[in-house]
């Protein structure tokens, strides 16, 4: 039996897609009357959807200024990577203690899918799509720590996705990143939480360095 998707759910997904693809530009104001009329929904359903976007940090709200799509800056993105380094290192350490055999098998299968995807891409991209984040998502899930899951998967990852969609970020270190992912899984499989955390932190730090290089070598986006 298929679950019924509520109107606020549909509006939330529609607005999230519009933010990701740039139809709703970063920093732009969300006009409730216009959006309700355009989407043919009630103001109540719209407000519920906007509140969910705010919870995901894709929308900000200030008194007397209304809701706006979040602004994107290099500084904010690098701050996110620093937070991820700490929290995901902790998640990898805990996953080494709590992961199930089923989760471990699924994680290994996911990396094989990613390897095939990288080989089929002419530019060997890994970071443009959701595959890389999907790996990190699975590791956090395997930590069985709900607080870490809420902070990373329901919050920070949404912002990382937004940056990738808006700035078209790609990486020239795809094969290295895949190898690092495999090393993380190997450490988790051995139950070596200390090594899993060490490799995860180094992996995210390398990704952050790559992002800094991308910003330095490219023309600064208009924010």
At 189, the pLDDT band (50, 70, 90 cuts) reads: very high
pLDDT bucket at 172, cuts 50 / 70 / 90: low
Domain boundaries, the chain: 7-69, 74-217
**What are the tokens at 59?**
């929308």
Residue 134, pLDDT > 80, answer yes
Q: What is the mean pLDDT of the chain?
A: 86
Residue partners of 142: CB distance under 8 A and separation at least 6: 91, 95, 98, 99, 100, 103, 104, 107, 188
How far apart, in whole angstroms, are the C-alpha atoms of residue 115 and residue 120? Answer: 9
61 pairs with which residues across the strands? 67
* pLDDT of 68 strictly over 80: yes
7-69 under CATH 3.10.105.10, yes or no: no
Per-residue pLDDT at 133 = 72
Task: Give the best-scoring range by mean pLDDT among 110-114, 140-144, 205-209.
Answer: 140-144
Which CATH superfamily does the domain covering 74-217 fall into? GntR ligand-binding domain-like (1.20.120.530)
Give residue 147's pLDDT band: very low, low, confident or very high (50, 70, 90): very high
Proportion of the chain above pLDDT 70, given as a percent = 88
Q: Do domains 7-69 and 74-217 have the same CATH topology?
A: no
Global pTM?
A: 0.78
Name the band, by pLDDT with cuts 50, 70 and 90, for residue 191: very high
């Amino acid at each position: 039996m298929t679950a019924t998707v509520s109107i606020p759910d549909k509006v939330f997904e529609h607005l999230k897609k519009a933010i990701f693809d740039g139809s709703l530009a970063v920093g732009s104001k969300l006009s409730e009357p216009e959006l309700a009329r355009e989407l043919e929904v009630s103001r109540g359903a719209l407000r519920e959807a906007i509140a969910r976007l705010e919870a995901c940090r894709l929308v900000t709200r200030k008194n007397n200024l209304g809701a706006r799509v979040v602004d994107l800056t290099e500084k904010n993105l690098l701050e996110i990577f620093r937070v991820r380094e700490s929290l995901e290192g902790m998640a990898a350490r805990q996953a080494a203690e709590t992961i199930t055999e089923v989760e471990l098998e699924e994680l290994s299968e996911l990396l094989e899918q990613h390897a095939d995807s990288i080989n089929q891409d002419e530019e060997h991209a890994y970071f443009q799509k959701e595959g890389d984040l999907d790996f990190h998502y699975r590791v956090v899930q395997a930590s069985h720590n709900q607080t870490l899951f809420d902070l990373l998967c329901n919050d920070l990852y949404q912002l990382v996705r937004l940056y990738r969609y808006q700035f078209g970020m790609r990486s020239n270190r795809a094969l290295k990143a895949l190898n690092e992912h495999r090393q993380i899984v190997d450490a988790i499989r051995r139950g070596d939480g200390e090594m899993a955390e060490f490799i995860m932190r180094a992996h995210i730090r390398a990704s952050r360095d790559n992002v800094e290089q991308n910003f330095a070598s490219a023309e600064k986006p208009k924010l």
